[in-house]
Amino acid sequence: MSRLSIQDYVRAMRLPFVSATIAPYIFGALRSGRPLNWVSLILGALVVGCAHLFANMINDVADKNSGVDDIDKRYFAFFGGSKLLPEGRLSIDWYTRAALAAAGLAGIALIILTYRLGRYETPLLFAVVLGLAWQYSCPPLKFAYRGFGELIVFICCGPACLAGGVYLTGGGYPSIGQWLLSFPFGFLTTGILLANEVPDYFEDKASEKRNLVVRLGQEKGWLLFLLIEICGWISIAAIWYLGYLKSIVALATLIAFPLVLWATFILKNNPQQKELLVLSSKLGIAVQTIVSVILIAGEFIN
Protein backbone atom coordinates (compact mmCIF):
# COMPACT_ATOMS: atom_id res chain seq x y z
CA MET A 1 0.00 0.00 0.00
CA SER A 2 1.15 3.52 -0.73
CA ARG A 3 1.85 5.95 2.09
CA LEU A 4 -1.32 7.66 3.24
CA SER A 5 -1.76 11.26 4.37
CA ILE A 6 -4.00 12.68 7.07
CA GLN A 7 -6.36 13.78 4.29
CA ASP A 8 -6.64 10.16 3.16
CA TYR A 9 -7.72 9.03 6.62
CA VAL A 10 -10.21 11.90 6.78
CA ARG A 11 -11.48 10.70 3.39
CA ALA A 12 -11.70 7.10 4.64
CA MET A 13 -13.85 8.14 7.59
CA ARG A 14 -15.82 10.72 5.56
CA LEU A 15 -15.26 12.96 8.55
CA PRO A 16 -16.89 16.19 7.23
CA PHE A 17 -20.25 14.42 6.90
CA VAL A 18 -20.40 13.96 10.68
CA SER A 19 -21.81 17.50 10.86
CA ALA A 20 -25.12 16.02 9.65
CA THR A 21 -25.55 14.25 13.00
CA ILE A 22 -23.72 16.69 15.27
CA ALA A 23 -26.01 19.60 14.28
CA PRO A 24 -29.31 18.01 15.42
CA TYR A 25 -27.54 16.68 18.51
CA ILE A 26 -26.45 20.21 19.50
CA PHE A 27 -29.91 21.58 18.75
CA GLY A 28 -31.43 18.89 20.96
CA ALA A 29 -29.01 19.74 23.77
CA LEU A 30 -30.03 23.39 23.53
CA ARG A 31 -33.69 22.38 23.67
CA SER A 32 -33.29 19.93 26.58
CA GLY A 33 -34.76 22.41 29.07
CA ARG A 34 -31.73 22.01 31.32
CA PRO A 35 -28.73 24.33 31.87
CA LEU A 36 -26.02 23.41 29.37
CA ASN A 37 -23.42 21.11 30.88
CA TRP A 38 -20.30 21.24 28.73
CA VAL A 39 -18.91 17.90 29.91
CA SER A 40 -22.12 16.07 29.02
CA LEU A 41 -22.38 18.00 25.75
CA ILE A 42 -18.87 17.00 24.65
CA LEU A 43 -19.21 13.38 25.76
CA GLY A 44 -22.54 13.10 23.95
CA ALA A 45 -21.06 14.66 20.80
CA LEU A 46 -18.30 12.05 20.97
CA VAL A 47 -20.92 9.28 21.16
CA VAL A 48 -22.91 10.65 18.22
CA GLY A 49 -19.88 11.53 16.07
CA CYS A 50 -18.10 8.20 16.59
CA ALA A 51 -21.30 6.27 15.88
CA HIS A 52 -21.56 8.15 12.59
CA LEU A 53 -17.93 7.33 11.73
CA PHE A 54 -18.66 3.67 12.51
CA ALA A 55 -21.59 3.74 10.07
CA ASN A 56 -19.51 5.45 7.35
CA MET A 57 -16.69 2.92 7.46
CA ILE A 58 -18.94 -0.12 7.74
CA ASN A 59 -20.85 1.22 4.74
CA ASP A 60 -17.64 1.29 2.68
CA VAL A 61 -16.93 -2.32 3.62
CA ALA A 62 -20.46 -3.39 2.69
CA ASP A 63 -20.34 -1.57 -0.66
CA LYS A 64 -16.99 -3.17 -1.44
CA ASN A 65 -18.34 -6.62 -0.61
CA SER A 66 -21.45 -6.06 -2.74
CA GLY A 67 -19.32 -5.00 -5.71
CA VAL A 68 -20.95 -1.59 -6.11
CA ASP A 69 -17.69 0.29 -5.43
CA ASP A 70 -15.83 -1.60 -8.16
CA ILE A 71 -18.20 -0.60 -10.96
CA ASP A 72 -16.93 2.99 -11.01
CA LYS A 73 -13.69 3.50 -9.09
CA ARG A 74 -13.54 7.25 -9.61
CA TYR A 75 -13.59 9.35 -6.44
CA PHE A 76 -16.11 12.19 -6.37
CA ALA A 77 -15.84 13.09 -2.64
CA PHE A 78 -19.56 13.78 -2.17
CA PHE A 79 -21.04 10.48 -3.32
CA GLY A 80 -19.94 6.93 -4.08
CA GLY A 81 -17.97 6.37 -0.87
CA SER A 82 -14.30 6.96 -0.11
CA LYS A 83 -13.09 4.65 -2.95
CA LEU A 84 -9.94 3.79 -0.98
CA LEU A 85 -10.92 0.11 -0.96
CA PRO A 86 -11.30 -0.32 -4.75
CA GLU A 87 -8.14 1.74 -5.18
CA GLY A 88 -6.36 -0.81 -2.98
CA ARG A 89 -4.96 1.89 -0.70
CA LEU A 90 -6.68 0.58 2.43
CA SER A 91 -7.90 -2.91 3.29
CA ILE A 92 -11.23 -4.24 4.53
CA ASP A 93 -9.37 -5.28 7.69
CA TRP A 94 -8.30 -1.67 8.29
CA TYR A 95 -11.83 -0.35 7.79
CA THR A 96 -13.28 -3.01 10.11
CA ARG A 97 -10.77 -2.31 12.87
CA ALA A 98 -11.21 1.47 12.50
CA ALA A 99 -15.00 1.13 12.63
CA LEU A 100 -14.80 -1.00 15.78
CA ALA A 101 -12.39 1.51 17.33
CA ALA A 102 -14.89 4.32 16.65
CA ALA A 103 -17.69 2.25 18.20
CA GLY A 104 -15.45 1.47 21.17
CA LEU A 105 -14.63 5.14 21.73
CA ALA A 106 -18.33 5.95 21.58
CA GLY A 107 -18.95 3.18 24.10
CA ILE A 108 -16.38 4.57 26.56
CA ALA A 109 -17.94 8.04 26.38
CA LEU A 110 -21.36 6.45 26.83
CA ILE A 111 -20.28 4.54 29.95
CA ILE A 112 -19.12 7.81 31.53
CA LEU A 113 -22.40 9.48 30.58
CA THR A 114 -24.39 6.53 31.96
CA TYR A 115 -22.66 6.97 35.31
CA ARG A 116 -23.21 10.75 35.28
CA LEU A 117 -26.87 10.46 34.30
CA GLY A 118 -27.69 7.49 36.51
CA ARG A 119 -29.83 6.03 33.71
CA TYR A 120 -28.80 2.49 33.03
CA GLU A 121 -31.00 1.98 29.99
CA THR A 122 -28.68 4.35 28.10
CA PRO A 123 -26.40 1.58 26.64
CA LEU A 124 -29.47 -0.31 25.41
CA LEU A 125 -30.77 2.76 23.57
CA PHE A 126 -27.32 3.33 22.07
CA ALA A 127 -27.15 -0.32 20.97
CA VAL A 128 -30.41 0.10 19.06
CA VAL A 129 -29.09 3.16 17.19
CA LEU A 130 -25.73 1.49 16.50
CA GLY A 131 -27.58 -1.58 15.25
CA LEU A 132 -29.57 0.53 12.80
CA ALA A 133 -26.35 2.15 11.57
CA TRP A 134 -24.74 -1.27 11.09
CA GLN A 135 -27.74 -2.86 9.40
CA TYR A 136 -28.10 0.14 7.07
CA SER A 137 -25.76 -1.60 4.65
CA CYS A 138 -24.79 -4.95 6.21
CA PRO A 139 -26.58 -8.31 6.21
CA PRO A 140 -28.94 -9.71 7.21
CA LEU A 141 -31.24 -6.66 7.01
CA LYS A 142 -29.29 -4.43 4.56
CA PHE A 143 -31.82 -1.60 4.79
CA ALA A 144 -30.17 0.48 2.05
CA TYR A 145 -30.39 -2.47 -0.34
CA ARG A 146 -34.05 -3.18 0.44
CA GLY A 147 -35.52 0.29 -0.03
CA PHE A 148 -35.45 1.43 3.60
CA GLY A 149 -32.16 3.35 3.57
CA GLU A 150 -33.83 6.75 3.29
CA LEU A 151 -36.05 5.99 6.29
CA ILE A 152 -33.05 4.92 8.39
CA VAL A 153 -31.15 8.10 7.48
CA PHE A 154 -34.20 10.20 8.38
CA ILE A 155 -34.49 8.49 11.78
CA CYS A 156 -30.80 8.47 12.64
CA CYS A 157 -30.00 11.99 11.41
CA GLY A 158 -33.20 13.55 12.72
CA PRO A 159 -35.18 12.13 15.65
CA ALA A 160 -32.43 9.88 17.04
CA CYS A 161 -29.74 12.59 17.11
CA LEU A 162 -31.97 15.33 18.46
CA ALA A 163 -33.37 12.94 21.08
CA GLY A 164 -29.78 12.07 21.95
CA GLY A 165 -29.02 15.75 22.50
CA VAL A 166 -31.98 16.08 24.86
CA TYR A 167 -31.38 12.81 26.70
CA LEU A 168 -27.59 12.73 27.01
CA THR A 169 -27.41 16.25 28.42
CA GLY A 170 -29.83 15.44 31.21
CA GLY A 171 -33.16 16.47 29.73
CA GLY A 172 -34.81 13.06 29.97
CA TYR A 173 -36.96 11.56 27.26
CA PRO A 174 -38.02 14.01 24.52
CA SER A 175 -41.45 15.61 24.53
CA ILE A 176 -43.71 15.62 21.48
CA GLY A 177 -42.52 19.13 20.66
CA GLN A 178 -38.88 18.08 20.81
CA TRP A 179 -39.57 15.13 18.50
CA LEU A 180 -41.24 17.47 16.01
CA LEU A 181 -38.22 19.79 16.09
CA SER A 182 -36.10 16.95 14.72
CA PHE A 183 -38.05 16.63 11.48
CA PRO A 184 -36.34 19.44 9.48
CA PHE A 185 -32.95 17.85 10.19
CA GLY A 186 -34.21 14.43 9.13
CA PHE A 187 -35.81 15.64 5.90
CA LEU A 188 -32.89 17.82 4.77
CA THR A 189 -30.27 15.15 5.49
CA THR A 190 -32.37 12.62 3.58
CA GLY A 191 -32.36 15.16 0.75
CA ILE A 192 -28.56 14.90 0.63
CA LEU A 193 -28.86 11.13 0.33
CA LEU A 194 -31.37 11.40 -2.53
CA ALA A 195 -29.15 13.87 -4.38
CA ASN A 196 -26.29 11.37 -4.04
CA GLU A 197 -28.41 8.45 -5.25
CA VAL A 198 -28.91 10.07 -8.67
CA PRO A 199 -25.24 9.88 -9.79
CA ASP A 200 -24.92 6.43 -8.17
CA TYR A 201 -27.98 5.10 -10.02
CA PHE A 202 -26.34 2.66 -12.44
CA GLU A 203 -23.93 1.25 -9.84
CA ASP A 204 -26.70 0.84 -7.28
CA LYS A 205 -29.01 -0.81 -9.79
CA ALA A 206 -26.31 -3.24 -10.94
CA SER A 207 -25.63 -4.30 -7.33
CA GLU A 208 -29.37 -4.58 -6.53
CA LYS A 209 -29.31 -1.67 -4.11
CA ARG A 210 -33.02 -0.91 -4.27
CA ASN A 211 -33.13 2.64 -2.99
CA LEU A 212 -35.87 5.09 -3.97
CA VAL A 213 -34.06 6.46 -7.02
CA VAL A 214 -33.39 2.95 -8.33
CA ARG A 215 -37.01 1.97 -7.74
CA LEU A 216 -38.55 5.05 -9.36
CA GLY A 217 -35.90 5.82 -11.97
CA GLN A 218 -32.96 8.17 -12.31
CA GLU A 219 -35.01 10.65 -14.29
CA LYS A 220 -37.31 11.13 -11.27
CA GLY A 221 -34.48 11.69 -8.80
CA TRP A 222 -34.85 15.47 -9.02
CA LEU A 223 -38.53 15.19 -8.08
CA LEU A 224 -37.78 13.01 -5.06
CA PHE A 225 -35.13 15.48 -3.94
CA LEU A 226 -37.44 18.48 -4.36
CA LEU A 227 -40.32 16.79 -2.52
CA ILE A 228 -38.20 15.81 0.48
CA GLU A 229 -36.76 19.34 0.67
CA ILE A 230 -40.25 20.83 0.56
CA CYS A 231 -41.20 18.46 3.39
CA GLY A 232 -38.34 20.00 5.36
CA TRP A 233 -39.84 23.47 5.04
CA ILE A 234 -43.37 22.21 5.69
CA SER A 235 -42.07 20.76 8.96
CA ILE A 236 -40.41 24.10 9.81
CA ALA A 237 -43.71 25.91 9.11
CA ALA A 238 -45.59 23.37 11.24
CA ILE A 239 -43.33 23.67 14.29
CA TRP A 240 -43.45 27.47 13.96
CA TYR A 241 -47.26 27.36 13.83
CA LEU A 242 -47.33 25.15 16.92
CA GLY A 243 -45.17 27.66 18.76
CA TYR A 244 -41.97 25.64 19.01
CA LEU A 245 -39.96 27.96 16.76
CA LYS A 246 -39.57 31.75 16.61
CA SER A 247 -41.02 33.35 13.47
CA ILE A 248 -37.79 35.17 12.64
CA VAL A 249 -35.91 31.86 12.71
CA ALA A 250 -38.45 30.04 10.55
CA LEU A 251 -38.39 32.91 8.04
CA ALA A 252 -34.59 33.07 7.98
CA THR A 253 -34.32 29.44 6.87
CA LEU A 254 -35.90 30.46 3.55
CA ILE A 255 -32.59 31.98 2.45
CA ALA A 256 -31.43 28.43 1.71
CA PHE A 257 -34.37 27.50 -0.52
CA PRO A 258 -32.95 29.02 -3.75
CA LEU A 259 -30.10 26.52 -3.38
CA VAL A 260 -32.72 23.74 -3.39
CA LEU A 261 -34.06 25.03 -6.72
CA TRP A 262 -30.54 25.25 -8.14
CA ALA A 263 -29.75 21.66 -7.11
CA THR A 264 -33.10 20.50 -8.51
CA PHE A 265 -32.32 22.12 -11.86
CA ILE A 266 -28.97 20.31 -12.04
CA LEU A 267 -30.48 16.94 -11.06
CA LYS A 268 -33.29 17.28 -13.61
CA ASN A 269 -31.13 18.32 -16.56
CA ASN A 270 -27.92 16.35 -15.95
CA PRO A 271 -28.92 13.07 -14.26
CA GLN A 272 -26.10 11.05 -15.89
CA GLN A 273 -23.23 13.56 -15.71
CA LYS A 274 -21.45 12.81 -12.47
CA GLU A 275 -18.99 15.68 -12.74
CA LEU A 276 -21.89 18.15 -12.81
CA LEU A 277 -23.86 16.30 -10.14
CA VAL A 278 -21.07 16.96 -7.65
CA LEU A 279 -22.48 20.50 -7.45
CA SER A 280 -26.00 19.28 -6.67
CA SER A 281 -24.59 17.21 -3.80
CA LYS A 282 -22.65 20.24 -2.53
CA LEU A 283 -25.82 22.33 -2.69
CA GLY A 284 -27.80 19.71 -0.75
CA ILE A 285 -25.13 19.74 1.97
CA ALA A 286 -25.09 23.54 1.96
CA VAL A 287 -28.87 23.66 2.44
CA GLN A 288 -28.76 21.28 5.41
CA THR A 289 -25.83 23.17 6.94
CA ILE A 290 -27.35 26.64 6.52
CA VAL A 291 -30.70 25.61 7.98
CA SER A 292 -28.99 23.79 10.87
CA VAL A 293 -26.87 26.83 11.71
CA ILE A 294 -29.92 29.11 11.61
CA LEU A 295 -31.94 26.81 13.87
CA ILE A 296 -29.07 26.50 16.35
CA ALA A 297 -28.32 30.24 16.27
CA GLY A 298 -32.00 30.91 16.83
CA GLU A 299 -31.71 29.37 20.29
CA PHE A 300 -29.58 32.34 21.32
CA ILE A 301 -32.12 34.94 20.15
CA ASN A 302 -34.10 36.42 23.04
Q: Is the pTM of this model over 0.85?
A: yes
Average pLDDT value for residue range 67-81: 88
- The answer to whether residue 22 sits within a structural domain is yes
- The answer to whether residue 25 sits within a structural domain is yes
- Which residues fall within 8 angstroms of residue 164, CB to CB, at 6 or more apart? 25, 28, 44, 47, 48, 129
- The answer to whether residue 236 sits within a structural domain is yes
Q: What is the pLDDT of residue 69?
A: 84
pLDDT higher than threshold 70 for residue 265: yes
Query: Could you tell me if residue 35 is left (phi over 0), alpha (psi between -120 and 50 degrees) or otherwise beta?
Result: beta
DSSP 8-state symbol, 255: G
Distance CA 94, CA 13 (A): 11
Q: pLDDT by residue (tens digit) across 209-237?
A: 899 999 999 999 999 999 999 999 999 99
- The answer to whether residue 56 sits within a structural domain is yes
Cβ-contact 272, 205 below 8 angstroms: no
The CATH number of whichever domain residue 68 belongs to comes to 1.10.357.140
Q: What is the pLDDT of residue 2?
A: 59
Distance CA 25, CA 93 (A): 30
Query: Could you tell me if residue 16 is left (phi over 0), alpha (psi between -120 and 50 degrees) or otherwise beta?
Result: alpha
Total number of domains constituting the chain: 1
Domain that holds residue 149: 6-298
Q: pLDDT by residue (tens digit) across 28-66?
A: 999 998 888 899 999 999 999 999 999 999 999 999 988
- The answer to whether residue 1 sits within a structural domain is no
Average pLDDT value for residue range 95-115: 95
- The answer to whether residue 285 sits within a structural domain is yes
Q: What is the pLDDT of residue 29?
A: 95
pLDDT higher than threshold 80 for residue 3: no
